[in-house]
Amino acid sequence: MIINSLCLAQDRLPSPSEPSGQNFPALKPRTIQACLELAKKFVTTIQRYRSEGKEALLAATREEKKKNLKYAYSLVASGMPQENVASAFARAGFLEAESSKDEFDSAMLLTGVQLALKNVHPIAIMRAMTAYLGFAVYEEVGSWLAQRYSSPIRQEEELLLPGELADAVYAFTDDPGSLGQAIRLAGLPLLAAASAGCPDETLSIIKSVGFNSLGSALLDDEIQNARSRLSSDELSDAQHAFLTLLGSLKELVPKGIVEEEAWKRSMDGGLVSEVSELILNLDARILKTVISAMDAKLVAALIQAMEPIAHDRLFSSVTSNRGKKILDALEASAPLSSNELTRQAQIFAQRVLAEVAPRSKILGKALPIPAQVRQLLSAILSRE
Amino acid sequence: MIFWNAELARRLACSKREKSHLGSIIKELLEIHDTVRTEGIKSLTDSASIKEKPILSYGLRLIEEGVSGETLEEILAIYLIASPWSGFDFLLQCLHTEALLSLAAGDSKDMYLRKLVPYCGVESAADVLGALEL
């Protein structure tokens, strides 16, 4: 409830000038500009800290002459828990300032340090610090932020992860209300992680529904952050989570997409990994012989239990005509259950064994295949 | 738990007659919820009626800037505390802020209403809720 936040915010501000508590000391335009410059300086340093690392912050701390700003930088550099910042400011004497200007400076810096320690984006930190100066500076702050952030941050190539999120987002283009609702429910960290593996076109739809130019810049920044911090699997999980959220909001997401995602989640990860490893590690001649002799429908079923990287090797082992037949069979096939996939994988493993086994059996002699392939065959065949 | 302090209570104080307007204001805010749910937040930011409501107008722009959750609440609380509003005007801006935070959180219409109605006061909250119940 906002009332609680009001109580907390009130503790940071200079005392009201009237007993009614209605008016805080009015700041002169020159003082407002000075406070604004302080916020700009702090936020610029925090941005450098985010992009260049702690050394940039430590250098700013060393060079800063203004005591309260120097102290604020040192608190951010210390990485202390943000709930201890207020008492640290009080202990250092910055909350007992001589003028209202100093009191506002301290309140702004206290807020800025707390948010920086929570790793809040500098755009939001700037908005929070300058909120003490009222709506009168809102546009000026917006222009300053736009100059610094609205130019496209995203210059790297798009990262495309397989999944249905792009199609689902496209299906929401005529329903900005629901897409916007999903964006807000997801929150920025999940949205950024989910968008990190999407085509630029999908990202444009998301931005057009939920963000203005500054928000778009902030989202780009968070996406870059997610790409550098999270693995492909984590980004893929975020896509699934956002897709599920979209699906829960409206039936607009094609039913097939939702079912396919549910099927993917129910897959036996161990089996998929074993089959993929087997395909990747099999001798090229054996793989070609076995796949060529198998029915296209059986190969299509096997592909369902494989990671994309194994698809490439499998298709590279067959002729283009044969590859086309397998693709047609794949398109016509329905998702198989975990048990059915295990059965198909075992049939494939048996065919591989039959191919590598010597024509004349010599008892007690190991099969002429690498140990890893032997282990994978054994793991697949021993599944129940 | 709801925090309380005397300064804030003084600043929020207003007459019963003034508070009686809150029911119709909440009704307007429900229409805003409907618009956001069907057309999205961006459809509101340029609307003339929103521009007359400062905290709603600036708050919507903050949401479009990607500010959300606790940070949005903290920023709006600072604006309110540092503002010159008092009495019914202050209560009204607090109500608008509560609506904004609920919109930003993606709350359902029912939850949104239940977050706004307490601003009418204990005596009339139930009546207002009854009149506006979905």
Q: What is the residue-level pLDDT of chain A in tens, covering all 384 positions?
A: 777 788 777 777 666 555 444 456 677 889 999 999 999 999 999 999 998 999 999 999 999 999 999 999 999 999 999 899 999 988 988 877 677 778 889 999 999 999 999 999 999 999 999 999 999 999 999 999 999 987 655 556 666 666 778 888 888 888 888 899 899 989 888 999 999 888 888 999 999 999 999 999 999 989 988 888 888 888 888 998 998 888 887 654 445 555 555 656 666 778 888 888 888 888 888 888 888 888 888 888 888 888 777 887 888 888 888 888 888 888 777 777 788 888 888 888 888 888 877 666 555 566 677 888 888 888 888 887
- Dmax (CA) for chain A in angstroms is 103
Partners of A214 on chain B (C-beta within 8 Å) are 64-66
C-alpha count within 13 angstroms, C-beta hemisphere, residue A207: 20
> Per the structure block, which two tokens stand in for A311?
């698809």
Give the Cα separation of A275 and A237 in Å (integer).
Answer: 22
Phi-psi region of A89 (alpha: psi -120 to 50; beta: other; left: phi over 0): alpha
- In contact, A369 and A356? CB cutoff 8 Å: yes
Instruction: With CA atoms as reference, report the closest residue to A22 among B13, B97, B58, B44.
Output: B13
| One domain, residues A276 and A343 | yes
Given A247, A263, A279, the domain boundary residue is: A263
Instruction: With CA atoms as reference, report the closest residue to A3 among B84, B125, B80.
Output: B80
Q: Do B80 and A133 touch (CB under 8 A)?
A: no
| One domain, residues A335 and A316 | yes
User: Residue B115: closest CA among chain A residues belongs to which residue?
Assistant: A1
| One domain, residues A40 and A116 | yes
Give the Cα separation of A293 and A287 in Å (integer).
Answer: 10
Three-state SS for A226? helix
| One domain, residues A57 and A169 | no
**Residues 6+ positions from A252 with CB-CB distance below 8 Å:** A171, A172, A175, A178
- In contact, B23 and B131? CB cutoff 8 Å: yes
Partners of A35 on chain B (C-beta within 8 Å) are none
Nearest-Cα distance to chain B for A375, in Å, is: 51
Partners of A172 on chain B (C-beta within 8 Å) are none
**Residue A158 within a domain:** no
Q: Do A7 and B79 touch (CB under 8 A)?
A: no
CATH number at residue A206: 1.10.220.30
**Residues 6+ positions from A47 with CB-CB distance below 8 Å:** A122, A148
| One domain, residues A329 and A238 | no
Given A125, A149, A173, the domain boundary residue is: A149
**Residue A155 within a domain:** no
Q: What is the pLDDT along chain B (134 residues), one digit of tens a residue?
A: 566 677 788 888 888 889 888 999 999 999 999 999 888 888 888 787 888 889 999 999 999 999 988 999 999 999 998 898 999 999 999 999 999 999 999 888 889 998 998 888 877 777 787 777 65
Q: Do A133 and B82 touch (CB under 8 A)?
A: yes
- In contact, A114 and A85? CB cutoff 8 Å: yes
Q: What are phi and psi of A362, to 5 degrees?
A: -115, 110
Sign (positive/negative) of CA torsion A204, A210, A213, A219? negative
- In contact, A219 and A191? CB cutoff 8 Å: yes
CB of A133 within 8 Å of a chain B CB? The answer is yes
**Residue A88 within a domain:** yes
| One domain, residues A9 and A112 | yes
| One domain, residues A25 and A38 | yes
| One domain, residues A21 and A40 | yes
Q: Give pLDDT, residue A253.
A: 44
| One domain, residues A76 and A99 | yes
**Residue A107 within a domain:** yes
Residues 12-31 of B with CB under 8 A from A: none
Sign (positive/negative) of CA torsion A234, A240, A242, A248? negative
Q: Do A111 and B78 touch (CB under 8 A)?
A: yes
- In contact, A309 and A276? CB cutoff 8 Å: yes
C-alpha count within 13 angstroms, C-beta hemisphere, residue A188: 27
**Residues 6+ positions from A183 with CB-CB distance below 8 Å:** A191, A206, A209, A210
| One domain, residues A218 and A171 | yes
Residues 115-134 of B with CB under 8 A from A: 115
| One domain, residues A171 and A302 | no
Give the Cα separation of A329 and A337 in Å (integer).
Answer: 17
Partners of B45 on chain A (C-beta within 8 Å) are 212
Partners of B81 on chain A (C-beta within 8 Å) are 6, 9-10, 13, 24
Three-state SS for A13? coil
C-alpha count within 13 angstroms, C-beta hemisphere, residue B25: 22
- In contact, A89 and A129? CB cutoff 8 Å: no
C-alpha count within 13 angstroms, C-beta hemisphere, residue A218: 27
Q: Do B103 and A131 touch (CB under 8 A)?
A: no
Given A213, A237, A263, the domain boundary residue is: A263
Q: Do B86 and A121 touch (CB under 8 A)?
A: no
Nearest to A135 among B54, B66, B104 (CB): B54
Amino acid at B72: L
pTM for this prediction: 0.71
Termini Cα distance of chain B: 27
CB of B65 within 8 Å of a chain A CB? The answer is yes
C-alpha count within 13 angstroms, C-beta hemisphere, residue A307: 16
**Residue A156 within a domain:** no
Nearest to B62 among A4, A9, A127 (CB): A127
Residue A163: burial class (beta carbons within 10 Å; 0-12, 13-18, 19+) = buried
CB of B83 within 8 Å of a chain A CB? The answer is yes
Nearest-Cα distance to chain A for B127, in Å, is: 21
**Residue A312 within a domain:** yes
ipTM of the complex: 0.91
- In contact, B78 and B71? CB cutoff 8 Å: no
Q: How many domains does chain A have?
A: 3
Give the Cα separation of A62 and A27 in Å (integer).
Answer: 30
The CA-based dihedral angle spanning residues A301, A302, A307, A308, taken in that order and rounded to the nearest 10 degrees: -70
> Per the structure block, which two tokens stand in for A174?
């005529």
In the block, tokens 């590690």 appear at A281
**Residue A157 within a domain:** no
Nearest-Cα distance to chain A for B114, in Å, is: 12
Give the domain range for residue A243.
165-263
CB of B106 within 8 Å of a chain A CB? The answer is yes
User: Residue B100: closest CA among chain A residues belongs to which residue?
Assistant: A2
Partners of B67 on chain A (C-beta within 8 Å) are 123-124, 127
Nearest-Cα distance to chain A for B57, in Å, is: 11
| One domain, residues A288 and A217 | no
